[in-house]
């Protein structure tokens, strides 16, 4: 475990999170006490990567967008060193072969017996709804046989919405679901149909925990204007 990570989490991040944001947590016992597991989480705020690991005794490695590691100048250097010290792993989100190569760092992490955090949506939700998952979570699960723990972050979009630099002080929550075992499908790790099925099962587990409305479009495409999300459902509709 990184000394920086352990010290910052134990003496700063976890105490501050508990005192200031008073998080309520359900299902914490669903995270394995040892051995590999994929923590698959909805993504409402940049602070999700702070609040969720703060509630766990174990270290969590996250796949972080590669832009955090490639910024220019002094600011870029400081940012890169911070994410490296926090054991964040660079993830290429451009798709195709580059993204698949990036997943190898996650595979190595799981094969070491560590916890790996991943946001299957690929980016923060632009509208608070749950969007279509990318198949990276399935590739990781079938490549390693590691269980997938679905996680719902609740209210973090109100604590720190997109565009806000500092979080507001208000309560948040998180729910850890029962681990999903896909070890019976490891032999089909290269089957696109199976990869989509596994990903959709993970997203459905997250949706049940979070209560979010589901949008069958990638969040990144919605943000970029390449896809149009359907109107929000009216309550009771």
User: 80-136, pLDDT tens digit by residue?
Assistant: 776 666 667 777 666 666 666 778 889 999 999 999 999 999 889 999 999 999 999
Q: What is the pLDDT of residues 131-168, one digit of tens each?
A: 999 999 999 999 999 999 999 999 999 999 888 888 89
Q: Is residue 161 part of a domain?
A: yes
- Whether residue 65 is predicted with pLDDT greater than 80 in this model: the reply is no
* Domain membership flag for residue 234: no
CA atoms within 13 A on the CB side of 147: 15
For residue 214, the enclosing domain spans 3-224
Total domains in the chain come to 1
For residue 26, being part of any structural domain is answered with yes
Tell me the CA distances in angstroms from 147 to 27, 50, 216, one per residue in order: 15, 22, 24
Answer whether residue 231 is part of any domain. Answer: no
CATH of the domain at 156: 3.40.1130.10
* Any domain includes 229: no
**14-18, 89-93, 161-165, 200-204: which has the minimum mean pLDDT?**
89-93
In a domain, 236, yes or no: no
pTM of the model: 0.89
pLDDT of residue 70 exceeding 60, the answer is yes
| Alpha-carbon distance values, 43 to 38, 61, 65, 109 (Å) | 15, 16, 13, 21
DSSP 62-92: EEEEGGGGS--HHHHHHHHHHHHHTTEEEE-
Domain contains 169: yes
Any domain includes 99: yes
Measured CA to CA in angstroms, residue 211 lies from 164, 204, 207, 225, 226 at distances of 24, 10, 6, 25, 26
The pLDDT, as a whole number, for residue 99 is 63
Band of the pLDDT at 184, cuts 50, 70, 90?
A: very high
């Amino acid at each position: 475990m990184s000394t920086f990570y352990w010290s910052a989490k134990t003496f700063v991040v976890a105490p501050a999170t508990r005192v200031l944001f008073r998080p309520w947590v359900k299902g914490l016992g669903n995270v394995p006490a040892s051995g590999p597991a994929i923590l698959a989480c909805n993504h409402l705020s940049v602070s999700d990567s702070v609040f969720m690991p703060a509630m766990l005794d174990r270290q969590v490695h996250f796949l972080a967008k590669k832009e955090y590691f490639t910024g220019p100048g002094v600011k870029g250097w400081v940012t890169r060193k911070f994410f490296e010290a926090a054991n964040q792993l660079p993830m290429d989100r451009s798709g195709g072969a580059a993204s698949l190569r990036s997943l190898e760092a996650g595979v190595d992490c799981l094969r070491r017996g560590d916890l790996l955090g991943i946001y299957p949506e690929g980016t923060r939700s632009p509208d608070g709804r749950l969007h279509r998952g990318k198949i990276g979570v399935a590739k990781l699960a079938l490549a390693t046989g590691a269980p997938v723990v679905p996680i719902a972050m609740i209210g973090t979009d109100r604590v720190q919405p997109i565009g806000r630099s500092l979080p507001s002080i208000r309560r948040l929550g998180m729910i850890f679901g029962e681990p999903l075992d896909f070890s019976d499908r490891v032999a089909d790790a290269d089957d696109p149909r199976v990869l989509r099925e596994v990903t959709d099962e993970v997203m459905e587990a997250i949706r049940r925990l979070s209560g979010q409305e589901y949008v069958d479009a990638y969040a990144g495409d919605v943000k970029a204007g390449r896809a149009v999300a359907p109107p929000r459902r009216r309550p009771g509709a």
